[in-house]
Amino acid sequence: MSWVYLIIAITMEVIGTTNMKLAHGFTKLVPSILMFVFYGLSFAFITLALKKIDVSIAYAIWSGVGTALIAVIGFLYFKEPATAIKIGSIALIVLGVIGLMLTDKHISPAT
């Protein structure tokens, strides 16, 4: 269940960050409020995930996957330029997350 909590935490963080962009520096009320709501949910779920997952693994995955997903959202939704260096850097983040997951001997769907 801890891995499910981590996935939910990542999802909430990505939604919160997307709303941060949509808030336009706190000038849009609804996205500004949603940003805090989703970040709060993200922290709540990552706290639950940390009951069974090492903090070094959970936080790296949470931040790395969140960063990669936000970059992709930036390219696709916000029409930010997707350069070869940006795409390569995202690939390195994903490889780093995979590497961390492979080093954690406690990873299993049941935890």
Task: Choose among 44, 50, 42, 40: nearest CA to 14.
Answer: 42
Indicate the pTM of the whole model.
0.88
Q: pLDDT tens, 25-71?
A: 999 999 999 999 999 999 999 999 999 999 999 999 999 999 999 99
Angle between helices 55-76 and 2-22 (to 10 degrees): 40
Instruction: Give domain limits for the chain.
Output: 2-103
Measured CA to CA, the distance from residue 3 to residue 65 in angstroms comes to: 13
85 class by beta-carbon count within 10 Å (0-12 exposed, 13-18 middle, 19+ buried): exposed
Q: How confident is the model at residue 84 (pLDDT cuts 50, 70, 90)?
A: very high
Mean pLDDT across the stretch 17-27? 98
Quote the percentage of the chain above a pLDDT of 70: 93
Terminal CA-CA length for the chain:
6
